[in-house]
Amino acid sequence: MEKDVRRRPHGTRRLGVLTGSVLLLGAVLGPGALSLPTLAADAAGPASLLAWALLLLAGIPVAATFAALGGTFPDGGGVAHFASLAFGGRTAGAASWWFLAAVPLGVTAAALMGGHYVAAAVGADPGVAVGVGLGLLAASFALNAVGLHTTGRVQVVTAAVMVTLLVVTVAVSLGDVRAGSFTPFAPHGWSGVGVAATVLFFAFAGWEAAAHLSADFADPGRGLRRATALTVTVVVVLYLGLAVVTLGVLGPAAGRDPAPLLTLLQRAVGPAGTAPATVAALLLTFGAINAYLASGARLGAALGRDGALPRWLVGRTTPGREPRRSLAFLAACCLVVAVPVLGGVVALDGLVRATSALLAAVTLVGTLAGVRLLRGRQRTTAVVASAFLAVVLLCCGALLALPAAVGAVAALTERRRRASRRPAPARP
C-alpha cells in the first residue's frame, strides 16, 4: 500500500471529508434521478417505493465496502485494481470489459434523459428529445477530443446544482402529496418490484467511484469512510423524498411522465420552475456523459495497450495525449446503440436495464474482491453487499446474457493474447 501512495504525484492527495462527499454525490446523484422515478413507477406503481427503500438500504454495505477497499488499498484503478489483487488479471479484464460495454449504453440513456427534459419543457415532440440527446453526446465527444474533460471543480458544481434541485422539488411538493395516490399499491404484482429494482440500480452504480477517489484523500482510511457516510445519508434522504413526492403528487401519471421533476416544480411554482429545472438537467446530464466518456476512452486505450483490444481500433495510452482513437470507437458504439432507439425498437428503459446489468456485474466483482481482501467486520459487510448484488443480477433475468457474452469475449481475447505471447516450439 505504501508503494502505491508514493507513486502518486506530490500534492494530489488533498481531498477532505466535505470536498470528497460532494464529489461522491456527483457520482451517485447522476442523471438517473431525472427519469428513474417514472421508469420505476411504470414497472411497479407505488410498490416501487419498496424497490427504492431496498436499494437505499442495501446500498449502505456496498458503499461501506468500497470505502473500506479504497481506504486499505488506495489506488485510482478502482474495481479493476481490487479484482487484480484478489483474483488476478483475467477477472480484472472482464470487469474492465463490462465497464467499457456499459459506457455507450449508459451515456446514450443519460443523453436521452436530458433530451426528454428539454422536449417536455418546450412542449416539443420526441424527435426534439432525441436531437437534443445526440447534441449532448456530440458536444461531449468534441470536448473530450480536445482534452476538456470534466474536472473536480465541474463535478462540485454539478453535484451542488442537483442537490439544490432535489431539495427544492421535495420541499415545495410535500404539501401536495395525497394518500389516495398510493392505491392500488402494486398494480403490476410483486414481480414488478424486482423489475423496478433492476432499473433503479442505474442510480446506485456510482458507489465504486469512492475507490477511484481513494488515493486523492489526505487520509484515505478515515477521510474516505467519513465522506462515504455523509454521502449515504444525503442520498437516502433525497432519493426517498423524491420517490414519495413523485408518486404522492402525480399518482398514476407518475409512470407516464417523462420529466417528473419538471412537472413537480411547475405544479408548485408555475412556469418559473421550467428554466432552472431544464438548465440543471442539461448541466447534470452533460457532466455525467463527459465523465463517463473520459473514463471509458482511457480504459479502451489501456486495453489497446495491453493487447486486450486491437490497437488499430482503440489505439493505446500515450502520456500527454488524448485517447482520440478510443473516443472514435466509443462514438461508433453510441451510433450503433442510437439506431434502434431512433427506429423505436429499443426504449429508454431497455438501455437503462442493460447498463444496470453490466454495472451490477462490475460492482459485484468489486464487493467479492472485498470478501477476499478485507477482514473482520469489513469482510462481513462485503459478504452482505455481494449477496445483495447477486440478487440484483438475478432480477436482471434475460439481460444476464449481456455481461455473460461480454465476459466470454473478454476471456477469449485474453486467451488468444496469452497464446500469441508463448514462444514457438523449437524445431528439432
pLDDT tens digits along 178-215: 888 888 887 777 778 877 877 777 666 667 666 666 66
Q: Are residues 217 and 13 in contact, defined by beta-carbon separation less than 8 angstroms?
A: yes
- Confidence bin at 253 (pLDDT 50/70/90): confident
> Is pLDDT larger for residue 342 or for residue 239?
239
H helix runs in 343-398, sequence order: 348-373, 376-395
The reply to whether the predicted model has a pTM over 0.85 is no
Other Cβ atoms closer than 10 A to 150: 22
Residue 19: beta bridge partners?
Answer: none
- Confidence bin at 385 (pLDDT 50/70/90): very high
Residue 34 has pLDDT above 60, yes or no: yes
* CA–CA separation, 397 and 401 (whole Å): 8
- Confidence bin at 365 (pLDDT 50/70/90): very high
Residue 5 is predicted with a pLDDT of 39
Residue 153 is predicted with a pLDDT of 62
Residue 280 has pLDDT above 80, yes or no: no
Which region, left, alpha or beta, applies to residue 270 given φ > 0 means left and ψ of -120 to 50 means alpha?
left
Residue 320 has pLDDT above 60, yes or no: no
Single-letter amino acid code for the residue at 151? T
Residue 287 is predicted with a pLDDT of 73
pLDDT digit string, tens, across residues 255-275: 777 778 778 888 877 787 787
> Is pLDDT larger for residue 400 or for residue 222?
400
Residue 191 is predicted with a pLDDT of 79
Which region, left, alpha or beta, applies to residue 203 given φ > 0 means left and ψ of -120 to 50 means alpha?
alpha
DSSP assignments along 121-176, one per residue: HHT--HHHHHHHHHHHHHHHHHHHHTT----HHHHHHHHHHHHHHHHHHHHHHGGG
- Confidence bin at 93 (pLDDT 50/70/90): confident
* CA–CA separation, 181 and 9 (whole Å): 55
Residue 7 has pLDDT above 50, yes or no: no
Which grid coordinates belong to 136? 449532448
Mean residue pLDDT of the chain comes to: 78
Q: What is the mean pLDDT of residues 413-419?
A: 73
Q: By three-state DSSP, how is residue 41 classified?
A: helix
Q: Is 379 exposed, middle or buried (0-12, 13-18, 19+ CB in 10 A)?
A: middle
- Confidence bin at 148 (pLDDT 50/70/90): very low
Q: Which of 128-142, 345-359, 412-426 has the highest mean pLDDT?
A: 128-142
Q: What is the mean pLDDT of residues 85-101?
A: 87
Residue 84 is predicted with a pLDDT of 87
Q: Where are the domains of the chain?
A: 13-414
Q: What is the mean pLDDT of residues 166-183?
A: 85
- Confidence bin at 6 (pLDDT 50/70/90): very low
- Confidence bin at 4 (pLDDT 50/70/90): very low
Residue 3 is predicted with a pLDDT of 38
Q: Which of 49-53, 83-87, 271-275 has the highest mean pLDDT?
A: 83-87
Residue 87 is predicted with a pLDDT of 92
Helix, strand, coil abundance in the chain, percent, nearest 5: 80, 0, 20
Q: Which of 256-265, 336-345, 373-382, 410-419 has the highest mean pLDDT?
A: 373-382
Beta strands in 212-355 (DSSP E): none
Residue 425 has pLDDT above 60, yes or no: no
Q: Give me the CATH topology for the region 13-414.
A: Amino acid/polyamine transporter I (1.20.1740)
pLDDT digit string, tens, across residues 221-243: 777 788 888 888 888 888 888 88
